[in-house]
Structure 1
């Protein structure tokens, strides 16, 4: 009678432990500025301006009260609403244009599809500053200055090349057999896109949408030059805390923290889709 086999637990390698420790250190290193910003936003202006910093200073919500207009009366909600409108609407338009374009480049490739991809990439080679003056003159002639829909158009054109490249990589991972089976069942192109492509590539779509949303939300150059009182966005409102009287560090950190919350909430809500989508081969 043979003795039962005993499972031997292999000791964890020293290299794996070192890599894990290094990953934690890098994570804390990248999180340190964000944590310091949040901590500074909870200090008074006197404590925030101390050098060296006062880690044990008392906490207060005065910075957030000032951000929401307790002292100045300036409400952050119109700029926040403008940012939400420009980011969400432009992201939806980008997805509506990028998915069919990526389908044509990946699943049903057009002739010289590599040249088409290079054309999309070449639109990102021009510096934004170089196109700022012509865009301003065109917007001034068309009467679109200080108009939120001008930002929607600009953010759509800014994010469309990135979305096409990402969605093309995601769609290239879709098995051709699924599409052929849907075509044999009599499904037309709109039905294939709606019932086959969208469910299969949902993680990739979520990753693309989140990246486009973040780029649109954080954009400040176009919004700073082309808007004013009516269509100013959240990043433009953030610059109003830097005045001729000085830099109010606690107020700026409180404003930056509050403005960052929508992006953090969107990333947290779609984190599983984002990781799954980025692992489908978006960077191939």
Structure 2
């Protein structure tokens, strides 16, 4: 095969990777400009609301609400309990943007599409990302309704090469090999602990490791025991890809999980996990989490 043909094949492969693994940088700019034209707010903090936790966005002052389906290039959430709206507004005097509903690989979206909003937030000027989720508790000391501050994660999909940064790297977003050893910002975690203590949440405020699995099925008992054995305190089907892209973009990240169910680790148990239970616990603890996030935002932007 001639050198010219080999070079041509390489060019085609690179072009295909750009098409397959992401949109062009300019497409992200189109979406960001669309949003700038529809809100006066210029957010410093972005908040992703997990299952049952979208009520936080309803508390924003001077809110501008945009349906996902009205935003160019934006995916649409298909999960019950995720409203599918982008809400710009104020927490106190701090401009923020909230995602009422996120996206998951089990909905059929590729990871670059799931994390598309993160890069939009970067273009809008966001420097801090707060991610929340509903998760199953693996640590035997956890109870339903606990809030777990995420100190680290285990990306099981990443072990198989499923990563939102796969493909051609655009240096305008970040480096080819970003470190993840401090994925969850130590200073932000310290602030979160202080706020939790001040608000009287110390009894059910934990800190642990979040494991991401693909879903949409809940884990088998054997899988749950394996997750616990390797150091996972809670397990869910989201968050990690968003965190990876945020860190790639240079954002500071804080993550919290609401323990919405206890994962069954015994095959002889008659207990089962279900999504309605997740949403119910989210509603019960929603006010506490809203107060916690609001207090954190006040402190990190002071």
- Which structure is larger by alpha-carbon Rg, 1 or 2? 1
Which structure exhibits the higher relative contact order, with contacts defined as CA atoms closer than 8 Å and separated by 6 or more residues? 1
Greater helix share, 1 or 2?
1
Greater strand share, 1 or 2?
2
TM-score, with length taken from structure 1: 0.26
TM-score, with length taken from structure 2: 0.25
